[in-house]
Each structure stands twice: as C-alpha cells, then as structure tokens.
Structure 1
Amino acid sequence: MVSRLVLVLGDQLTPNVAALKAADKEKDTVVMAEVMAEASYVRHHPKKIAYLFAAMRKFAHALREDGWNVLYTELDDTKNTGSIVGELIRRSDELGAREVLSTEPGEWRLIKALQDAPLKISLLEDDRFIATHAEFEAWAEGRKQLRMEYFYRDMRRKTGLLMAGDKPAGDKWNFDHENRKPAPEDVSFSGPLRFEPDAITQEVLDLVEARFGSNFGSVTPFWFATTREEALQALEHFIAQALPKFGAYQDAMLNDNRFLYHAIISPYLNAGLLTPLEICQAAEKAYENGDAPINAVEGFIRQIIGWREYVRGIYFLEGPDYPQRNTLNHKRKLPDLYWGGATKMNCLAKSVEQTREEAYAHHIQRLMVTGNFGLIAGVHPTELHEWYLEVYADAYEWVEAPNTVGMSQFADGGIIASKPYVSSGAYINRMSDYCKHCHYKVAQKTGEKACPFNLLYWHFLDRHRDRFEGNPRMGNMYRTWDRMDKDRRETVLQEAELALEKLDKGDL
C-alpha cells in the first residue's frame, strides 16, 4: 500500500518544494496532472499553457530520474478526470492511499477545492517565499497604511541582501529616482535568451494549438525555457548582458523593441524553475563584482523580495473576495481593443499586440498603458483582472490580483496604492516613443486629434472629485483643473464623453 500521495502543481516545479521535502521518496507517490479545470478556468494565453505543460512533463521526468515514483496525467489521457481533485481521487482509489501532501496553492479557488475534497489533504505553507503568512500578518497588524517600502526594508534585513551590517549598501534603501530615464535611442541588449522547442515541447505545442488555438494569443513562435537548467541560463544571460542598464531604463517603452533591458524571468520564477533568493543573490554578486551599478541591482531586487513578496502578503491577508472588489464602482465592459480590436491609440495597440504575440508586457506597459487606460475609462476592475490573468505567462492570482485590483485600478480603496495611478498622455510620451507613431497628438488637449488619455484623465478626476480632492498627493491636479477656464473644462468633459462613446463602439 502506498503511504501517501504528493501533489505537485504546475507552479510548484521546484525540487525542494514543501510537499516534496515532507514526503518519503521510498514510499510516497507524486501526482501531477494536466487538467482542463486549470487550463480553462480563464482562457489562458496558449503560450502559458504550453510553457507549463512542457515544464511539468520535464519536471516529472527529472523527479523520476531522482528516484521518485511519479504518476503523471496528460491532458488527452482518456482516464483524465479533468480536475486536480478528480485526479487525486482517481489515484487514491487506484493505490489505496487516503492521505495527500500538498504545498499550499497560490489561489484561494484551488485552496478551497482541496479543502473540500473527500480526502485527508495536508496543506503545507509554500516556503519558497521569503515572508511567511505569519510574518506578513505581524508586519501588517496595527498599521494604518500597508506601504511596501517599509516591508521591503524588513525583507532586506531578513535576507541580508545589499546590506552593509545594519545599513543598506550605498547608504540608501531605494535608488528609484535614478531609474526613471526615458526610452534610449539604442538598446544594446539582444533580448531574452531563446530556446528551440525539443520533441517534448513540440508535442505540447501541437496539443495546445489543437485544444486552445481559439484563445487570445499565438502559441508560436515559442522560445521559453522549460527546464530549470534552461531557466538558469536565461538568468545568467540577463545578469551579464542586461542588468547593468536595467535600472535606468526599467520604466521606458519603445515602439519597436519589446524587451529593452528586462529579464523576462518572471514565468520561470512564478512556476518554480527559479527561486527568489538565487535570483537576487546572482544580481547582488554582479554588484559586488563591479559588473552592475547599485541602482540597477537594488531596483531589480526590490521587485522580487519587496514588491513580489508584498503583493502575495496582501492577497492572503485580504482573503478570497479581494479580486472582486470595486471601490470606484466602475462598470464599463472591457473594450474590444484589449482583445486586439481596432484602435488608433498606438500605445495601446502596440502593448496589446505584444501581449498577444509574446504573452508578456513589462510592468509600465501593464500599469501605465493598459491599466491606466482601463482606470480612466471606468472599466470594471474584475474584467481587467481576468484579462491580465488570461493573457500573461507569469500571471497567477496571488500576484496578478493585487497588482491589478489594488495597484492599477484602485479597486481596493487604497490598501496598496496611496493614490490612483492615472496620467495623461504626457507620461507615456515622456517614457516612450509611442506617441510619435500615433494618430492622435499628445500635445493636443481638445479637438478631433486630442489624445484620449488627456481627455479621460480629467474626466476621471472630475467624476471622482469627492473621493480624491482631499488626497494630499492629488491636490495639485485639482488645482490645475480648477484654474482652467470654465468653457474649456466643459469642452474637455464633453469630448471625453464622446471618446467613451467611440470606445464602446470600437472606434477610438
């Protein structure tokens, strides 16, 4: 009789993940499964499905090579029950095992499914993260504002990363003011390391194309790493060739360059092929060796042990209803342009095109282009949340929901962000060359060619005045609005309404 089943999910592809550490290789059996319930609870980008299925199959092979007994269910297996719980029950019945070890999933939806299963399932906390649930809760208790910066400092102290004794390296915790340069004219980085699909990956690509080919996004060309060894090569490539300039240009966007100096390792980190500490230690080593400046290394490390850990803490602290929050009561349906529908706004067209083809866009494209526009247009945050979850290869609810519902859409009422991340077209123009290629004129505030971001920015502020007028970080915006001539304000609001009508008709 088998002692226990050991569940390994598609984002738990780490050899020392909690459930495997607690298991007995000589007695227990690992269960892994490609199931429709996980592949279709939202219409995931085909590249994400293909990446995870290929990585799962190769991880299962590596476990077998390491001496584990692994029962792996492929999607087209005729006995596939279609859900994680169904596969656990099926394998339990086959083997007579009634106990399951599982690392805690990263989504409330799946946690509940396992808790409700008619099996004895032990959920072990995922210790691949720096902060435990208890540590984040203790940090948050009694605080009026849960701002990331102070949590991040605690994570620096805990890990010792970029620390000189009790002080931060370089005598500052944050070098963000050095990391806001506009887009450079030339980019020396060739982009993320690309891997040719092998036989296993190609088999998965054929399967995904056949089963999920109608989903938003193209499965080919496919170049993601699908093993830990490849992911480590991708990390090394970034550290050596892009990290030195990552910091300065991390917020920049270019019309004809999709990656600039970004790492594109978040899919590997979030699925478990890489771990946060090893990534940060590699960056820290580059700084210590004089191969990368502190502003780049600190900014990179902050995204991982600061922001990534923080949003996970918020997700579990706030509970299962968090993704459905809608403090601003926005109700507009997600515009068709998010699915590749026609638009004359170049920044949005390019960001969505890149998303469709790469299953990737960097944080400023997500926050200040697609997110900013959704916020000022009044799109329902749940629809945007589900869109982000569907279209990006690195998206899992624990990390995606706080970034969208909290940071991007202010739908949590300010738990994460102290003010809404809204801007006119001026910000996009400053940080990119998108506006040079656009039908609209970013310098034009009203009229037929006025940038919709300019019109909708003021429309947003006007309709939410009661909520935000007293926000100390937004007072200058309202004073600027109030100084405008009354007729001009009325023109702006009227033209903003016309822009929203065009948006709903797919003609903006």
Structure 2
Amino acid sequence: MAEVKKTLRLILGDQLNHQHSWFKDDLEDVTYLFMEMRQETDYVKHHIQKVVGFFRSMRNFASYLEERDHRVIYYKIDHEDNTQNLEKNIKDLIDKHDFESFQYQLPDEYRLDEQLKSLCEDLEIETNNFDTEHFFTTRSDLERFYEGKKQMTMEYFYRDMRKKNNILMINAKDPEGGKWNFDKSNRQKWKGKPEIPHERGFRKDVSDLVDEIKNAGVETFGSIEANNYNWPTSREDSLSVLNYFCKNLLVHFGDYQDALHTDEAYLFHSRLSFSMNTKMLSPKEVIDSVLDYYYDHKDEIDISQVEGFIRQILGWREYMRGIYWKEMPGYRRSNKLRNQNKLAEFYWDANTKMNCLHHSIKNSLENAYAHHIQRLMITGNYALLTETHPDEVDQWYLGIYIDAIEWVEITNTRGMSQFADGGIVATKPYVSSGSYINKMSNYCKDCHYKVNKKTEDDACPFNSLYWNFLDANREHFAGNQRMNMMMSLLDKKPPEEMQKIRNRAGEIISNPERF
C-alpha cells in the first residue's frame, strides 16, 4: 500500500469546482488551503462587488468542504497569520504543519502560473500540479489547431468544437438548423417588447464582509447595497441562475443579445459569467442544461436563441483562453496602434454628457456588470477612438467587472476591443460612429448630442472620432480587406470636411471632461 503523505492543496479564488476529482479521492491526510490576500485585491483596484463576490464564494466553498469532513485552512483577509503573499503564506504553513507534499491546480492567469512555478522550485518537498477539469480545451489546443495557418478565425475553431463535442449537430458534419452561425438573427433592437423578466436576484446581507474588506485597508471603487447583494456566491445559487435563465430568458436571448437600453441593466443576458469564471459552474453543464431545455421546448424556442448563447461559451470563451496561453506574456504589452492617452476621468464616475457612455459606465459602477456590446461598442469603442493606452483600458476592465479575470479580460480588451494586438483576435477594429449605437439602442434619443450631426458643437462625439481614427491609422489598415469600404468612403471626403473632423476630434481627445 502506497504511503500517504501529509499534503497541502491550494485552491485559488477562481477554482471553486465542486466536481473536481480532488474531492472524490480517499486521501486521508489532505488539507485544502484558501487565502484572501492583498496580493490579489491590490494588483489593480477592484470593484467592491467583485471583491465581495470572490471572498463570499470562497468562504461558501470552504464551508462546503468542511461539512463533508475535508480539512480546510482558511485565511481571511484579516487573519493574523496572513502575510498577504501567496508564496510566503504557503511556505510558512508547510514549515508550521510539516507538510510533505504541495499540490495545486493550474492557474488561469499567467502571473499566478509563474508565481507557483517559482514557489515549487524553491520548496524542498514533493510538488505536483493538476488540471482544473473545467474547460473543454487544454491551454495548448488552440495553438495546435492553428499550427501552420496564417490567420486565426474563431468561426473555424467554433465549428470544430461543435463537431468534437457533438453540440447542435445532426450528424458528424452537418449543423442543426442548416447553418453554423445565426449571428445575423442576433442583432435586434429592444423597443420595450417583449417584456424582460427581472433578473434572478438574491438580496444577501454582506455587511460584515464589506466591513472586513474596508477595515483591512483594501481600496475599492463602485457601489454596493451591502444588505442587498445580488450575485450568486455558491453552487446552489449558480444552478438557480442557470435554471432561471433557461426558463425565463433563453427564449429571447439570441434576438436581443446585442441590444442596449437605458432602462435595462441585463436585458435577456444570463448573468452566469461570474459563476463560470469562478468554476462554480462548468461550461459543459451550462451548455447541457440549455440544450436539454431547448429540446424539451423546441416549439417555443428558436435555434437562433440557443446557438447565439452556445457560441459565446463553446466558441468565444474557449477561443480567448487559447489565445491567452498562446500569446502570453508578450500579449500584455501589445500596443500596435501606439496609443498613449490616459483613460477619461468619467470612466470612474459616469459624469459625461454622452448618454451611451453615461449609462454604460453607471451600470458598470452600480452593478459590476455590463454586457458584451456595452463593453465593446460603447466604453471600448470610445477608449480606442480617443487613442487611450491599452494598459489604462486593461486596468479599468479588469477592476470593474465581477467576471473579469485576466485570461478572458485582456484578450477581449486588448485584442477584440482595442485592436492593440494588431489583428490576432479581430480581423478589423471594432469601432463605429454614433449610427451603430443609435441602431442598437435608445441611448441617442435623449442625449445632449445629436447623432445625425458630424462636427457641430452639439454633434455626437463618436462621429468625428470615428473618421479621425480611420484617417490617423491609414497605414495600419491599408492592406486590410475588411476595411476597404470604409477607407474608400474616407478617401471621398472633401479636404475641408476632413479638417473639421480632425479639429472636432482633437478637441474631444484633448478635453474629454468637457464632453
């Protein structure tokens, strides 16, 4: 019989996987370690709801393990032995308790991966790492899939994932519904109908935890109703949100997944990203639940609703993770357009006359949430058009959103949103004038600025910024076929109009607080 070594197992705040094989083995001398650390709260400034969400979820999972007779060491943020540093805490605990083995699950952040590798090189005891058993793919699957290919395109990766996992397929080659992608059906503007059900909320009292975080000196931003916390922080909560989405929101999700509205924070979105990114839910069980509900209600739910949802998880989420591990660590320094400006101050208080930005940022500050079009085509669009340094944009997105972990945040922000990687993620920059915002939202209706004006004092700032961006980056887009039409339109603009555009855009970029 093999000798059982006294083992310390680390569980990070985004590794709350109740179904991991670790918890099914019969090792007798294992202790699980959780740590709330200033190392993690302070590497960027985080939204208070994000810090609360992670700490509360970690505590709930630790309690879950203890209730099932697993040994747990839990360092709260104010624990007297907590050095606030991962390596120091682990070394101290190994010395104190004479652990003979240290084990960890592979982190999803490059920063922590390097830190744990370094730690294990220093330790004199046996060390091992394990997969998190969460994703459909491994870290290196995407790199292998595109080996030898000049251009990576998510669509082909997504189709391959559908085939490999037999998801929405009628046979080994053909997709259900006759098409791989129903994106063109997913672009409707919401005009008050159909009625949007209230989100699945929780009304938790987290006052004590908020006080602990403040008393520990952790600096946060954003607002929180401490007696009415609205995010899932346990597996039970997360399954409830998943079930609610299937029964109440899936039926219209695809139609309005790109829509924007001043009166609706969540529309038909699932609010499952935090549960998935902390691993309280796996992508497979989310997709399986959605498919089960769809197949039981095919007379009520169109395939376009379901495919649009699955594409985000099976396609985009796995794709972005693969890009992250393929391109790091250099990816975090990408700035192909050489943008250098500071992020506008109104990103921290929503104090702007631009209605679209005001509502998107206000929603982010109040709820630690914005859906993908608010992030991409409002806040991200403006940051790129005003030549903001991608470091500034990264830090804001990583801090403000409850679901933001670097592997998914930086690829979406620096790649998809800011085109700082020069086209690794997106084949063209996702920028627009005010016309797109007006098409997809009611933001322009009551705005201080007029969406149909270009360079006047009351003209929508996005209009001059958009054409100025194309003009300023001609050399970058000269060989980009997807930009040909817009660059051709740019070339047809008279010199006097272009000068007005440059002047107006220059005013906005130089004095964002005025707008």
Interval containing the TM-score (normalised by the shorter chain): over 0.9
Residues 279-301 of structure 1, C-alpha deviations (whole Å, 9 max, x = no match): 01111112211242110100101
Residue of structure 1 equivalent to 2:431: 422
| CA–CA separation in structure 1 for the residues paired with 2:110 and 2:417 | 21
Amino acid at match of 1:171: G
Residue of structure 2 equivalent to 1:104: 106
Amino acid at match of 2:203: E
Equivalent of residue 469 in structure 1, options 467, 474, 478: 478
Residue of structure 2 equivalent to 1:190: 197
Cα deviation, residue 212, structure 1: 6.2
Q: Is residue 6 of structure 2 the alignment partner of residue 7 of structure 1?
A: no
Residue of structure 1 equivalent to 2:469: 460
Equivalent of residue 68 in structure 2, options 66, 69, 76: 66
Equivalent of residue 505 in structure 2, options 493, 496, 501: 496
Q: Is residue 312 of structure 2 the alignment partner of residue 328 of structure 1?
A: no
Map 1:147-166 to 2 at 5 A: 147-166=153-172
Equivalent of residue 131 in structure 1, options 123, 133, 137: 137
Residue of structure 2 equivalent to 1:87: 89
Q: Is residue 280 of structure 2 the alignment partner of residue 278 of structure 1?
A: no
Q: Is residue 44 of structure 2 the alignment partner of residue 38 of structure 1?
A: no
Residue of structure 2 equivalent to 1:230: 237
Residues 169 and 176, structure 2, Cα contact 8 Å, conserved in 1? yes
Equivalent of residue 185 in structure 2, options 178, 186, 189: 178
Residues 36 and 75, structure 2, Cα contact 8 Å, conserved in 1? yes
Residues 252 and 364, structure 1, Cα contact 8 Å, conserved in 2? yes
| CA–CA separation in structure 2 for the residues paired with 1:423 and 1:217 | 28
Residue of structure 2 equivalent to 1:218: 223
Cα deviation, residue 203, structure 1: 2.6
Cα deviation, residue 211, structure 1: 4.2
Residues 350 and 361, structure 2, Cα contact 8 Å, conserved in 1? no
Residue of structure 2 equivalent to 1:17: 20
| CA–CA separation in structure 2 for the residues paired with 1:302 and 1:79 | 45
Equivalent of residue 151 in structure 2, options 145, 148, 166: 145
Residue of structure 2 equivalent to 1:115: 117
What secondary structure is seen at the aligned counterpart in 2 of 1:437? Answer: coil
Relative to structure 2, which stretch is displaced further, 205-214 or 282-291? 205-214
Amino acid at match of 2:220: N
Amino acid at match of 1:60: A
Residue of structure 2 equivalent to 1:442: 451
What secondary structure is seen at the aligned counterpart in 2 of 1:30? Answer: strand
Residues 41 and 218, structure 2, Cα contact 8 Å, conserved in 1? no
| CA–CA separation in structure 1 for the residues paired with 2:196 and 2:241 | 13
Residues 205-224 of structure 1, C-alpha deviations (whole Å, 9 max, x = no match): 33234446752211324111
Cα deviation, residue 272, structure 1: 1.0
What secondary structure is seen at the aligned counterpart in 2 of 1:435? Answer: coil
Map 1:401-416 to 2 at 5 A: 401-416=410-425
TM-score normalised to structure 1 length: 0.96
Amino acid at match of 1:257: E
Relative distance call for 1:386 and 1:495 in structure 2 (3 A) is same
Residues 25 and 68, structure 1, Cα contact 8 Å, conserved in 2? no
Cα deviation, residue 91, structure 1: 1.6
| CA–CA separation in structure 1 for the residues paired with 2:21 and 2:37 | 22
Q: Give the total of aligned pairs.
A: 503
Equivalent of residue 213 in structure 2, options 208, 214, 220: 208
Relative distance call for 1:336 and 1:121 in structure 2 (3 A) is farther
| CA–CA separation in structure 1 for the residues paired with 2:505 and 2:157 | 39
Residue of structure 2 equivalent to 1:78: 80
Relative to structure 2, which stretch is displaced further, 34-43 or 479-488? 479-488
Cα deviation, residue 146, structure 1: 1.0
What secondary structure is seen at the aligned counterpart in 2 of 1:123? Answer: strand
Map 1:244-263 to 2 at 5 A: 244-263=251-270
Q: Is residue 294 of structure 2 the alignment partner of residue 287 of structure 1?
A: yes
| CA–CA separation in structure 2 for the residues paired with 1:20 and 1:377 | 49
CA RMSD of aligned residues (A): 1.6
Cα deviation, residue 2, structure 1: 5.5
Question: Which stretches of structure 1, 4 residues or longer, exceed 6 Å deviation after superposition?
Answer: none
What secondary structure is seen at the aligned counterpart in 2 of 1:260? Answer: coil
Residue of structure 2 equivalent to 1:311: 320
Unaligned runs of 5+ in 2: none
Cα deviation, residue 60, structure 1: 0.4
Equivalent of residue 395 in structure 2, options 367, 386, 389: 386
| CA–CA separation in structure 2 for the residues paired with 1:204 and 1:457 | 44
Residues 77 and 213, structure 2, Cα contact 8 Å, conserved in 1? no
